[in-house]
Structure 1
Amino acid sequence: MADNNLDPHHKYREQHKKRLSYMPWLYWKLKPNQKQWAQKWQNEYQEYLQDMEMVEIKGDCFISPLANLFAEPGRKIIIEEGSFIAADCVLHGPILIGKQVSINHHCTLEAGNQGIVIKDYCRLAAYCHLYSFNHGFENDRLIKDQPTTSQGIILEKDVWLGAHVGVVDGVKIGSGSIVGMQSVVTKNIDSNIVVAGNPAKKIKER
């Protein structure tokens, strides 16, 4: 193994790893000599992740080592080919991520018991938060002692969530729909429409 202190490319590669972690779409645009070390780096990390957690990675994906994926037995995370998860994300299964899904930095996906399904080609901009569970708030007990419920969240194909979008438990967003930045989705959204606001409301059709 080469001594990193003698490798003139070591510092560059470490910075490039950080760049890829926050801008993973660049991974598929690397030149052949760059892709060689980057793919080895990804293969090693993804093997480690699949050994440590109930994570299943299918095909050529990118997962930042700075992301946090937690998948105990019964809470599996499945990631289909061509998808990426950027740095500082937190994912807690059960989660199904389809093909060519983009989950940008600082997203949080907490799947509760019923899970989160993100179908093919969806785009989640930075700081999106999906919570597939909820706490009770009856006045006869402390908040910390309230029971939780979980219904699940589904994003159909080709959904785009803008930065800082929140999605609450029980919501289904139809294929081709777009949610504007800083919106909070509290109800189901039909296909091929644009919504925005808190709570999110229809702006127009695509």
Structure 2
Amino acid sequence: MTDLDPLLKYREQHKHRLNYMPWLYYSLKPKHRAWAEAWQHEYQDYLMQMETVQIGKNCFISPLAHIFAEPGRTIRIGDNTFIAADCTLHGPLEIGNEVAINHHCILDGGRVGIKLHDQVRIAAYCHLYAFDHGMDIDLPIYQQAVRSQGIEIGRDVWLGAHVGIKDGVKIAEHAVVGMNSMVTKDVAARQIVAGNPARLIRYRE
């Protein structure tokens, strides 16, 4: 055993912590920031070689996230954005600056895509599916035609934990969706909604 072994073991645990709590990346002390930035640069370079992904400056992308962006399903990630562990992202996705996507979220852009404007905060276990299919009784579900209208989430929107967003929904700027809610209709600016289906509680003032 060398003197460095405990430090290396701690570093692996530190990486594990950052994977699930990536906001800590932005407050690392300089001695930790150096190795963390090198780790992130290496992984993000690899990701951009393997997938049709564009990543902005000063981002944190957990290597434990699952990011798929084949040609025609580009994922664009703005500056100062983080994506935590165990997320599944499938393009097309347009993700703005200072966006937070916490662990175990699923974002599937379908054909039309999902757009997250700047400063969107998505808590753990949220599901956004920008596609749907018919339910005609004459055909099994798996044979139904698939549609995609897209999803758009406005600036400074906060989605609480375990929120679901249906295809075709637009949530305007500064809105808040309470945890465990299912959003099936558009949400206006500054509205706070909750429930299944989500309904207006009050306005952010």
Asked if TM exceeds 0.5, the reply is yes
Match of 2:114 among 87, 94, 116: 116
Contact (CA 8 Å) 1:192, 1:205: kept in 2 or not?
A: yes
TM-score by length of 2: 0.97
Q: Which amino acid aligns with 2:79?
A: E
Letter in 1 for 2:130: S
Deviation at 1:4, TM superposition (A): 9.1
* Structure 1 residue 190 corresponds to structure 2 residue 172: no
Aligned ranges 1:52-201 → 2 under 5 Å: 52-201=50-199
SS in 2 for 1:9: helix
Give identity over the alignment, percent. 58
Q: 1:124 to 1:4 in 2, by over 3 A?
A: farther
**CA-atom RMSD, angstroms?**
1.3
The structural deviation recorded for 1:143 is: 1.1
Equivalent residue pairs, number: 204
Pick aligned residue for 1:27 from 25, 28, 38: 25
**Distance in 1 between the 2:2 and 2:136 partners?**
58
Q: Is the 8 A contact 1:132 1:170 kept in 2?
A: yes
Normalised to the residue count of structure 1, the TM-score between the two structures is 0.97
Amino acid aligned to 1:45: Y
What stretches of structure 1 of length at least 5 have no aligned partner? none
Task: After TM superposition, give the deviation of residue 28 of structure 1 in Å.
Answer: 0.5
Amino acid aligned to 2:152: I
User: Structure 1 counterpart of 2:107, which letter?
Assistant: L
Q: Distance in 1 between matches of 2:102 and 2:88?
A: 11
Alpha-carbon distance change, 203 to 9 in structure 1, aligned in 2, over 3 angstroms: same
